[in-house]
Amino acid sequence: MAKRRKLVRTSPDRVFAVLADGWMYASWVVGASHIRDVDEGWPAVGTRLHHQVGPWPLHITDVTSVRAVVPGQMLELHARAWPIGAATVRLDLEPVEGGTRVTMVYELTEGIGRYLPRRVQTALLGPRSAEMLSRLADIALRRRIPAVY
């Protein structure tokens, strides 16, 4: 399990707007290479986005689904890249002085990755999580975001 935090100097609503735009997923998720479709109503519980992970032509086609959501505050995803495995990714958005504290908890839950010791998961996923938070912050700070939720 990897846990990372980042202060994003904008409101939780602006950060959540990026998360609520399923078509932006490949822009902030390291390894996601193409979004094929986004279910109507994303990010409602049970909705999915259909993506590819990895470089063409070796990409994996799979889905990520919403497990829990509190608009403007939290999004929990079940991210699949089968046959490699799947993960639970939770993003919590907390308003703080100067912006939003975004906390990402990333845990391998299915496939071969779940057998890795937590220390190894943290070592592998920590830098990836930090990069995803950096990308999310850049988009939230600089992109014109229409209200989509």
Q: 33 lies in a domain?
A: yes
Q: 147 lies in a domain?
A: no
Please state the domain count of the chain.
Answer: 1
Preceding peptide of 57 cis, ω within 30°? yes
Write the CB contacts of 149 (distance below 8 Å, at least 6 apart in sequence).
Answer: 16, 17, 20, 43, 71
Helix (H, G, I), strand (E, B) or coil at 89: strand
pLDDT in the model for residue 85? 85
CA dist., res. 45 & res. 100, Å (int): 23
Q: 109 lies in a domain?
A: yes
Q: 123 lies in a domain?
A: yes
Q: 149 lies in a domain?
A: no
Indicate the residue type of 17.
A
Q: 62 lies in a domain?
A: yes
Q: What's 75's domain CATH number?
A: 3.30.530.20
Complete edge-to-edge strand list for the sheet that includes strand 85-96:
2-8, 99-111, 85-96, 74-81, 60-70, 48-53, 32-38
Q: What is the mean pLDDT of each run of 10 residues along the chain (149 residues)?
A: 94 96 95 94 97 86 96 96 86 97 94 85 89 97 71
Q: 13 lies in a domain?
A: yes
* Nearest residue to 119 via CA among 110, 108, 111, 130: 108
pLDDT in the model for residue 146? 59
pLDDT in the model for residue 115? 85
Q: Which range marks the domain in which residue 37 is found?
A: 2-142
pLDDT in the model for residue 147? 60
